[in-house]
Amino acid sequence: MSVLKAIILGIVQGLTEFLPVSSSGHLSVTQMLLNLPEDRILFLTVMLHLGTLISVFFIYASDIYLICKEFILMLLEVFKGKGIQVNNEHRKLGVLIIIATIPTGLMGIFLKDIFVGFYNSSLIIGISLIITGTLLWTAEKIHSGKRSIKQMNWFDAVIVGVFQGLAITPGISRSGATIVGSLFRGFNKELATKFSFLISIPSIGGAVLLEMRDAITYGTGDMTFAVLLAGILASFLSGIFAIRTLINFIKKEKLYYFSYYTWTIGSIIVIFNIVR
């Protein structure tokens, strides 16, 4: 494994994790093009996910700090017998992130075997990419929501969490699905974007923890510390770029631009499966 290959994988992971184009499919294709068997680079793949997770902390550091602070204060109030008091926006946001994570986790646990089987079907991946593009287009075109954190409720969080759970399907973008779910629930664009990235923290973090055991079992192989560091840094920096890019696209109401890309790639995959 060379540093250059690690950087390429890191860039692909960082960009596709947050741009609504599906990271799983792109990373798999890149691994094949670079002739890198998945079991040989499992540890690096986990570290790349860690790099993208750090990029979310970097962009939303102040929000994450306030959410953690308010959550701790809320727990202290519970221990003091004051009950659960959700009396400010960051405290409410923290509770809703937890609620949104529950359906995602349940879907990951009970439907994992079904979704894993989809990775063996390029036809399903192609169809899923087309679905992703259609959802992005529809959400952008019909969106007129102005709901803020104050208007959010637990049911909104559950719906967005279900959308995130559906992104276990290869070809369905996690960021795209959660933003679409948020827009369908009438969130304003800023909240839809922020909530999507914040609920990615337990989602990506959980995936890293679950995959770490297998990654340690396989070991690092011929990867040096420099290779791992290069990959993590590349995924971190490209993740920051992707988050900021997506925020700008949403602000300018150009989210549907990604539809053209996913439709094109998805259609090529589907046509290939039909004619071969």
Query: What percent of the chain shows pLDDT beyond 90?
Result: 56
**CB under 8 Å to 38, separation ≥6 — which residues?**
28, 31, 45
Token pair for 222: 């011929």
When pLDDT is averaged across residues 28-50 and rounded to a whole number, the result is 80
The confidence score (pLDDT) of residue 269 equals 87
**Is pLDDT at 7 greater than 90 in this prediction?**
yes
Contact between residue 4 and residue 226 where contact means Cβ atoms under 8 Å apart: no
Q: Which of 2-6, 14-18, 92-96, 166-170 has the lowest mean pLDDT?
A: 166-170
The confidence score (pLDDT) of residue 39 equals 63
The confidence score (pLDDT) of residue 33 equals 79
**Is pLDDT at 115 greater than 80 in this prediction?**
no
- Of residues 197 and 25, more confidence is placed in 197
Greatest mean pLDDT among 39-43, 79-83, 176-180 = 176-180
When pLDDT is averaged across residues 85-103 and rounded to a whole number, the result is 93
The confidence score (pLDDT) of residue 38 equals 67
The CA-based dihedral angle spanning residues 31, 13, 202, 197, taken in that order and rounded to the nearest 10 degrees: -150
- Of residues 218 and 251, more confidence is placed in 251
When pLDDT is averaged across residues 63-91 and rounded to a whole number, the result is 90
Geometric angle at alpha carbon 76, from 74 and 79, rounded to 5°: 115
**Is pLDDT at 232 greater than 80 in this prediction?**
yes
When pLDDT is averaged across residues 107-129 and rounded to a whole number, the result is 81
Greatest mean pLDDT among 19-23, 30-34, 114-118 = 19-23
When pLDDT is averaged across residues 224-244 and rounded to a whole number, the result is 94
**CA 163 to CA 263: how far, in whole Å?**
19
The length of the chain, given as a count of residues: 276
- Of residues 35 and 25, more confidence is placed in 35
**Is pLDDT at 229 greater than 90 in this prediction?**
yes
Nearest to 187 by CA among 93, 60, 86, 57: 93
Contact between residue 47 and residue 228 where contact means Cβ atoms under 8 Å apart: yes
The confidence score (pLDDT) of residue 210 equals 79
Domain that holds residue 104: 3-275
Cα 107 from chain centroid? 15
Cα 96 from chain centroid? 17
Q: Which of 76-80, 89-93, 118-122, 260-264 has the lowest mean pLDDT?
A: 118-122
Contact between residue 201 and residue 243 where contact means Cβ atoms under 8 Å apart: no
**CA 190 to CA 251: how far, in whole Å?**
8
**Is pLDDT at 199 greater than 80 in this prediction?**
yes
Contact between residue 182 and residue 160 where contact means Cβ atoms under 8 Å apart: yes
The confidence score (pLDDT) of residue 29 equals 75
State how many domains the chain has.
1
- Of residues 58 and 142, more confidence is placed in 58
pTM of the model: 0.89
When pLDDT is averaged across residues 115-125 and rounded to a whole number, the result is 77
Q: Which of 6-15, 109-118, 189-198 has the lowest mean pLDDT?
A: 109-118
**Is pLDDT at 182 greater than 90 in this prediction?**
yes
